[in-house]
Amino acid sequence: MSAVDVWIVTLDREDAEVRRLHGLLSGAERERAGEFPLPPRKRRYVARQGALREILGRYAGTPPERVRLVRSLGGKPRIAEAGAPCFSVADSGDLALVAVATREIGVDVERVVRRRATRSVDGQGLAGFFECWTRREAAGKARGTGLRRPLGSDAGLECTSLDVGRGYAAALAARGGELRVRLRRYRG
């Protein structure tokens, strides 16, 4: 797979779908879901993790409930089995993105809303701020370092903005050459 598949997942799901996705979660994910104090946040988490497992299961040839996820020393999630595809996941508001590729990648999405800390970037206003922010987050995820690395340390990293819907800014970053992106919709 030379292209990067980016799955757009709507997190606002019907009750029956949330129950079905809950059944795909690992014990640790179910425990974490139980820690969310507000039901809407719990539902979005269950929808995101269940969809992530279904998507990764398709690529890994594994039933979703059997996909083993682990974290690198830097905290980046990955599939435990050798030779499995690389992935990155992000969510904001009622939207999640799952990027899958054969190389290290990072994806980020942010709901574009005015916040106290947001400000114009290069005269681009609010949209410019979020475009810059999502690119920085995606690059950090692709490197496996998050935001712990200084700006300007992204040699060999390709980054592109993604159009995932009105009211959202999103970006994808990857090592290893040109980015060919296929946007896909997760239907469940």
CATH assignment at residue 32: 3.90.470.20
pLDDT reported for residue 187: 94
Summarised one tens digit per residue, pLDDT across range 80-131 is 998 899 999 999 999 999 999 999 999 999 999 876 555 555 556 788 889 9
Structure tokens at 138: 């995606």
pTM over 0.75: yes
Tell me which residue range forms the domain holding 32.
4-185
Nearest Cα to 42, choosing from 68, 13, 79, 64? 13
Count of domains forming the chain: 1
Q: Are 186 and 8 in contact (CB under 8 A)?
A: yes
